[in-house]
Amino acid sequence: MVNTGPAPKWPSPVQPSTQHTTYPAQILTSSSNLGFPISIVRKPYNDLVPSILFDPQTKMRPILMKGHERPLTFLKYNRDGDLLFSCAKDHTPTVWFADNGERLGTYRGHNGAVWCCDVSMVIIWFNVNGDSTLLITGSADQSAKLWDVQTGKQLFTFNFDSPARAVDFSVGDKLAVITTDPFMGLTSAIHVKRIAADPDDQIADSVLVLKGPQGRINRAVWGPLNKTIISAGEDAVIRIWDTETGKLLQENEKEVGHKKTITSLAKSTDCSHFLTGSLDKSAKLWDSRTLTLIKTYVTERPVNAVAMSPLLNHVVLGGGQDASAVTTTDHRAGKFEAKFYDKVLQEEIGGVKGHFGPINALAFNPDGKSFSSGGEDGYVRLHHFDPDYFKIPSI
Amino acid sequence: MADIMSMTFDDKRTESLHSLILPPGEDFGIKSDDEDLHDDERLESDAGFESIIVVDNLPVVPWKKFDKLEAVVRRKFCRFGVIKENGLWMPVEEDTGKTRGYCFIEYNTPQEAELAKENTNGRNLGKEHILAVKMFDEIDKLMNVPDKWDPPETKPYTPLTQENLHHWLADEKGRDQFVIRSGSDTEVMWNDARQLKADPVHKRPFGTESFVQWSPLGSYLATVHRQGAAVWGGASGFNQLMRYVHPQVKLIDFSPGEKYLVTCSSQEPSNPRDTHRVVLNIFDVRTGKVMKEFKESADEFAFGDTCGFTGVSWPIFRWGGGKEDKYFARLGKNAISMYETEKFKLIDEKSIEVDNVMDFCWSPTDSIFALFVPELGGGNQPARVSLFQIPSKVELRKKILFSVSDCKMYWQSNGEYLAVKVERYTKTKTNTYTGFELFRIKERDIPIEAFELDNKNDKVISFAWEPKGDRFAVIHGDNPRPDVSFYSVKGGKVLKLTTLKQKQANALFWSPSGHFIILAGLKGFNGQFEFYNVDELQTIAITEHFMATDVEWDPTGRYVATSVTSGHEMENGFNIWSCNGKLLYRVPKDHFFQFSWRPRPPSLLSPEKEEEILKNLKKYSKKYEIEDQDISVLLSEQECEKRKQLKEGWERWVNEWKRDHEEQMLRDREASDVEEAEQVEELVDVTEEILPDVCIF
């Protein structure tokens, strides 16, 4: 948030739900009302985690944020890195202070699971409260909504005939890409919408509609200079589309590509490369212009979420065994760890344990000094790195 | 120990049979190179007479008695299966009306015919007629027997192979090999612990149809196929050395000196009332010749402890007399059938009769075996454990035991001691407690010593002798976390060394060279391992291989492999540890079925030489330490180099991308500048006209 003028008071955007009347989110210290055995909550590490990542004795503990009642689906930081937006299957995207995990408010209005969100980078327009930014969310209620981040006001609703999934603002926030799922005979599609400078001028028409991929498109993001859209999904193929003409420019080579559904996609800060995670238990790093495979990271579990550090050459992979098989085995068997890999060497550096369900969402703070993970267990875990983390030798 | 091992092996085998994925097609994607076999099969089916038998030496009777004879024959032969309608045909001489003294009987299936033949051939019918029963298909062959006997030609001896079967032992780096089976692949690898990786030697897709097995001295790798078993080995990769034809073979077993291979198959009975038919072949490994064949119903094998498939305890034949493969024996009803391998006949042409014998167990080194007879007649006849010497069949020692519920025998690997775990009833007979009887085989008169655990009511979970040593370890207790005790039997007395309380362990794995032991918590304990030094009575390391199902020491006792086999859904693969509990490397493999180290033959060094080496270990080990160091320096250099290259490659890529990106941006900007310029011009044109009106702007 850019704080210009007097420090804004944070009005509660909507009435807090009755279940969460304690407004500052529950932080680890108040673990008594978590409803889970403290031993699990308090013991996020074991001997296998290199102490350079986290030292449970002396160093930072993770902040445990309980605000969602259903599994997390997506996490997103704003550009300044002071706000964290979380989406879950429980219809209400939530915004938190990225520093201490305090819950700021929720965005009420969706009537289905919220799959994805994005927050605009620049101040788009001025309203009575001063400057503000936009939040876009894609939901299973067959709509994508634009929100005023600060007030929680619903600004606009894009309605579709099938559930909306991925959303992403272009660089400059003039355009947004929204994907819709295959539904009732409709195929999946990628819609490009123009985002008006003033929400009152916003129209629902699509600038461009792209069709072709089979199955869900789990992620679609803007390529370098907004010239392309990169999409990936259930058919395990990564596609690059021309945003001018709507033509399919490239598909990734079959031999080196993923073998199963691609679940997640994360761009590097400069957009030069991106990382995809797949249920085939691997993550792959691609050149975002030529779509050549640069690196592959192999894990032992299906990958549900990926993130890249903006600061160091690290990638984080999250996942775990299928949610349906979780209860049948020991919690250690699930491997619900966020795994850190060296981006260049493709070697595992360490892991952060804690979730007791698969990790569905990962996001790095733009400053690279903290990251958060969201799990099938309904928790968001906010990890601030210890000073030692930054001393990990890269070679 | 042996029991545990064989049981886990069985588990593995059944699991792997269920979860085996085979490629489509009749031949599972592998062309059979066995043409003779195919020809044989086709010929058999062409004839179509395989369910007909010929019964000869029947009495010759006049026409009057024809019906009576037919009834007798029918009654005698319908016991073995269903005779087809009009399937019994007894020809008569046309002029006299007398029978010709033979008949043909057709059954529904060849198996029934075979059974009938085996059970009636050579048996009496009445007093003076000894039946001669043959398969119809054999008649041709019997007719063509030449009248004159030609002595067979002596063929010059051609060795099985020119290959050096012990080539792997001459590895420069002194590494050991192992075989793994995952998915449909069978792979043999070097354990290259210095380089912290497994170095592939040989890989075969679809190498076997159920499992693979090393021969006890490591010379051969045996695979199981539909047509039979095969062995592989040699210096130049793994070539097929010999095939053993045995259709539908299910189980195989080598003799300890790997001279003989026992193969076993079991046929589903055609008639559900019947039991399974079991076919056993004993092959000479080197020549591939069948030395002896057994065809019996499965009932004949179902004695003693039954485990394995279709009620047959495997191995059926237990080999005795150490590595010379002199004797093999089989447990029968009220008898032990003892064969010698010179002529493959029963010793003294008869079995050793022991009423109600339950179990027997060979000494690993001598031709001595121990047998156990349970209590009978409600305790009137006590149980006993006896030691017998072969081939003299002399009873060396006997121990009478009272109120016994069960006994288990454990030989020490040098055959010096025999420990018998005795489960006895308490006075009320409601419960049992455990005691041990210790036989000192090598001492005069074989003294026996009885001893009990500190708490004799403790359940014994596992028992294991130190290989070649005088110590043994016991896991005992009824708690979820049992205790582990170590005992020494040196100097003629059982001495407790220590008890470790509350351990997460349910299996014991001694290092093959002794001194070290792994207390393993498999299955229920999720794969906890404690490496323990028994000399110092000290824990070396406590580690975990989550969900581990199997543990195996390499034959030298330098490394340990722990594996998760496909009985478990997740985590499949294996870990290699050093003997002090340090994880060296891990290999994840989906659908992992089997891990097994290649055994080594016994050392050729004399005991004196070994002692001398042990004494001057420092001198000898120096050379290897230097080698180790060199390699680790080399490795780290290579690693550094690799990393540097990767890093440079990455930076190069990033810079290139940046340059391209900037060029692109520049081009875009120029393009838009041109556009803008044009637009501005247009605008300028327009504004010129509008200006006078709109001056507010």
Q: For B259-283, what is each residue's pLDDT tens digit?
A: 899 988 877 766 666 667 788 889 9
Nearest CA in chain A to B648: A344
CA–CA distance, B575 with B560 (Å, rounded to integer): 8
CA–CA distance, B396 with B446 (Å, rounded to integer): 8
Q: Which of A297, A248, A245 is nearest to A275 (CA)?
A: A297
Nearest CA in chain A to B546: A333
CB nearest B546 (choices: A289, A332, A343): A332
Cβ neighbours, 10 Å, residue B666? 10
Question: Across the A/B interface, how many CB contacts are shorter than 8 Å?
Answer: 43
CB nearest A395 (choices: B547, B588, B644): B644
CB nearest A344 (choices: B646, B657, B661): B646
Quick check: A332 contacting B, CB < 8 Å? yes
Quick check: A225 contacting B, CB < 8 Å? yes
Amino acid identity of B646? Answer: L
Provide the percentage of residues in chain B whose pLDDT is more than 90. 10
> Binning pLDDT at 50, 70 and 90, where does residue B287 land?
confident
Q: Which of A314, A302, A286, A309 is nearest to A392 (CA)?
A: A314
Nearest CA in chain B to A334: B570
User: Does B680 or B653 have the greater pLDDT score?
Assistant: B653
User: Does B321 or A3 have the greater pLDDT score?
Assistant: B321
Quick check: B665 contacting A, CB < 8 Å? yes
Quick check: B586 contacting A, CB < 8 Å? no
pLDDT of amino acid A38: 24
Q: Which of B640, B646, B656, B669 should one mutate to test binding to chain A, selecting the residue with the greatest count of A CBs within 10 A? A: B646
User: Does B129 or A126 have the greater pLDDT score?
Assistant: B129
Kindly report the length of chain A. 395
pLDDT at B154 over 70: yes
Q: Which of B639, B661, B672 should one mutate to test binding to chain A, selecting the residue with the greatest count of A CBs within 10 A? A: B661
Q: Which of A300, A339, A346 should one mutate to test binding to chain B, selecting the residue with the greatest count of B CBs within 10 A? A: A300
CB spacing of B650 vs A321 below 8 angstroms: no
Q: Phi, psi at residue B197, to the nearest 5°?
A: -160, 170
User: Rounded to a whole number, what is the distance in Å from the CA of A365 to chain B's nearest CA?
Assistant: 22
CB nearest A225 (choices: B640, B653, B665): B665
Amino acid identity of B603? Answer: S
Put simply, the chain A residues between 359 and 388 with a CB less than 8 A from any chain B CB are none
pLDDT of amino acid B195: 80
CB spacing of A224 vs B661 below 8 angstroms: yes
User: Rounded to a whole number, what is the distance in Å from the CA of B656 to chain A's nearest CA?
Assistant: 10
CA–CA distance, A233 with A116 (Å, rounded to integer): 14
CB spacing of B650 vs A313 below 8 angstroms: yes
> Binning pLDDT at 50, 70 and 90, where does residue B169 land?
confident
Nearest CA in chain A to B572: A300
CB spacing of B661 vs A273 below 8 angstroms: no
Quick check: B196 contacting A, CB < 8 Å? no
Write out chain A in H/E/C secondary structure: CCCCCCCCCCCCCCCCCHHHCCCCCCCHHHHHHHCCCHHHHHCCCCCCCCCCCCCCCCCCCCEEEECCCCCEEEEEECCCCCEEEEEECCCCCEEEECCCCCEEEECCCCCCCEEEEEECCCCCEEECCEEECEEEEEECCCEEEEEECCCCCEEEEEECCCCEEEEEECCCCCEEEEEECCECCECCEEEEEECCCCHHHCCCCEEEEEECCCCCEEEEEECHHHCEEEEEECCCCEEEEECCCCCEEEECCCCCCCCCCEEEEEECCCCCEEEEEECCCEEEEEECCCCCEEEEEECCCCEEEEEECCCCCEEEEEECCCHHHHCCCCHHHHCCCEEEEECCCCCEEEEECCCCCCEEEEEECCCCCEEEEEECCCEEEEEECCHHHHHCCCC
Judged by average pLDDT, the poorest of A125-129, B152-156, B662-666 is A125-129
CA–CA distance, A343 with B155 (Å, rounded to integer): 68
pLDDT of amino acid A327: 55
CB nearest A321 (choices: B570, B653, B661): B570
Quick check: B646 contacting A, CB < 8 Å? yes
From chain A, the residues in CB contact with B521 under 8 A are none
A1: exposed, middle or buried (Cβ count in 10 Å: 0-12, 13-18, 19+): middle
Q: For B88-98, what is each residue's pLDDT tens digit?
A: 888 888 888 88
Contacts of A257 (CB under 8 A, 6+ apart): A236, A237, A238, A284, A293
Contacts of A36 (CB under 8 A, 6+ apart): A356
Quick check: B653 contacting A, CB < 8 Å? yes
Q: For B594-612, what is each residue's pLDDT tens digit?
A: 899 999 888 888 888 888 8
pLDDT at B202 over 60: yes
From chain B, the residues in CB contact with A344 under 8 A are 646-647, 650
pLDDT of amino acid A53: 45
Q: Phi, psi at residue B438, to the nearest 5°?
A: -115, 120
β-pair partners for A190? A179, A210
CA–CA distance, A43 with A56 (Å, rounded to integer): 8
Quick check: B659 contacting A, CB < 8 Å? no
From chain A, the residues in CB contact with B636 under 8 A are none
CA–CA distance, B251 with B258 (Å, rounded to integer): 16
Q: For B346-403, what is each residue's pLDDT tens digit?
A: 888 788 888 888 888 888 888 888 988 888 877 778 888 889 888 888 888 888 888 8
User: Rounded to a whole number, what is the distance in Å from the CA of B486 to chain A's nearest CA?
Assistant: 30
First to last CA, chain A: 36
Tens of each residue's pLDDT in chain A, 395 residues: 433 334 333 433 333 333 333 333 333 333 333 222 222 222 233 333 343 344 444 456 789 999 899 999 999 998 888 899 999 999 999 999 998 889 999 999 999 999 999 998 766 555 554 566 889 999 999 999 999 888 888 999 999 999 999 999 998 888 999 999 998 888 999 999 998 888 888 888 899 999 988 889 999 999 998 899 999 999 999 999 999 898 999 999 888 999 999 999 999 988 899 999 999 989 999 999 899 999 999 988 889 999 999 988 899 999 877 666 655 555 555 568 888 998 998 888 888 888 888 899 999 999 999 999 999 889 999 999 888 788 777 65
From chain A, the residues in CB contact with B637 under 8 A are none
Output the average pLDDT for chain B: 80
Q: Phi, psi at residue B298, to the nearest 5°?
A: -60, -25
pLDDT of amino acid B119: 80
Greatest alpha-carbon pair distance for chain B in Å reads: 146
CB nearest B661 (choices: A272, A325, A333): A272
Q: Which of B46, B45, B37, B49 is nearest to B247 (CA)?
A: B37
- How far from B181 is each of B185, B657, B667, CA to CA, in Å? 6, 45, 58
pLDDT of amino acid B33: 53
Strand B52-56 with A72-77, pairing: unpaired
Q: For B210-241, what is each residue's pLDDT tens digit?
A: 888 999 888 888 988 888 888 888 777 788 88
CB spacing of A333 vs B547 below 8 angstroms: yes
pLDDT at B49 over 70: yes
pLDDT of amino acid A297: 93
CB spacing of B661 vs A395 below 8 angstroms: no
User: Rounded to a whole number, what is the distance in Å from the CA of B253 to chain A's nearest CA?
Assistant: 36
Is B487 in contact with B533 (CB distance < 8 Å)?
no
CA–CA distance, A132 with A149 (Å, rounded to integer): 7
pLDDT of amino acid A3: 38
User: Does B349 or B45 have the greater pLDDT score?
Assistant: B349
CA–CA distance, A286 with A293 (Å, rounded to integer): 5
Is B272 in contact with B257 (CB distance < 8 Å)?
no
Torsion of CA A244, A246, A252, A254, to 10 degrees: -160
Is A23 in contact with A10 (CB distance < 8 Å)?
no
Quick check: B571 contacting A, CB < 8 Å? yes
Evaluate the CA torsion angle B142, B144, B146, B149 in order and state its sign. Answer: negative
CB nearest A395 (choices: B570, B647, B660): B647
- How far from A246 is each of A188, B109, B513, CA to CA, in Å? 15, 71, 71
Question: What tokens appear for A316 in the block?
Answer: 């984080």
Question: What tokens appear for B193 in the block?
Answer: 């612990």
Contacts of B131 (CB under 8 A, 6+ apart): B55, B56, B57, B58, B120, B121, B122, B123, B124, B125
Is B656 in contact with B663 (CB distance < 8 Å)?
no
pLDDT of amino acid B303: 47
Quick check: B526 contacting A, CB < 8 Å? yes
Q: Which of A339, A345, A347 should one mutate to test binding to chain B, selecting the residue with the greatest count of B CBs within 10 A? A: A345
Helix (H, G, I), strand (E, B), or coil: what is residue B365? coil
Quick check: A224 contacting B, CB < 8 Å? yes
Q: For B476-511, what is each residue's pLDDT tens digit?
A: 988 888 899 999 988 778 888 999 888 888 899 999
Contacts of A141 (CB under 8 A, 6+ apart): A91, A110, A111, A112, A163
CB spacing of A332 vs B526 below 8 angstroms: yes
β-pair partners for B553? B560
Q: For B414-434, what is each residue's pLDDT tens digit?
A: 888 999 998 888 877 778 888
Quick check: B570 contacting A, CB < 8 Å? yes
The residue assigned the tokens 């288990």 is B408
pLDDT of amino acid B26: 55
Sheet containing B251-254: order of strands: B251-254, B260-267, B277-284, B290-297
Put simply, the chain B residues between 209 and 268 with a CB less than 8 A from any chain A CB are none
User: Rounded to a whole number, what is the distance in Å from the CA of A142 to chain B's nearest CA?
Assistant: 37
CB nearest B546 (choices: A273, A333, A394): A333
- How far from B577 is each of B96, B198, B328, CA to CA, in Å? 86, 12, 37
Quick check: B494 contacting A, CB < 8 Å? no
CA–CA distance, B244 with B247 (Å, rounded to integer): 9
CB spacing of A333 vs B668 below 8 angstroms: no
Buried b / exposed e along B181-216 (16+ C-beta atoms within 10 A): bbbbebbbbbbbbbbeebeebbebebbbbbbbbbbb
- Complex ipTM: 0.74
- Helix (H) and strand (E) counts for chain B? 7, 43
CB spacing of A333 vs B647 below 8 angstroms: no
CA–CA distance, A115 with A117 (Å, rounded to integer): 7
CA–CA distance, B313 with B355 (Å, rounded to integer): 20
Radius of gyration of chain B (CA): 36
Amino acid identity of B90? Answer: M
User: Rounded to a whole number, what is the distance in Å from the CA of B522 to chain A's nearest CA?
Assistant: 14
From chain A, the residues in CB contact with B657 under 8 A are 272-273, 287, 289
pLDDT at B182 over 60: yes
pLDDT of amino acid B553: 93
pLDDT of amino acid B157: 65
Give the distance, in angstroms, between the CA of residue A372 and the centroid of all CA atoms in the same chain.
9
Quick check: B632 contacting A, CB < 8 Å? no
CB spacing of B661 vs A270 below 8 angstroms: yes
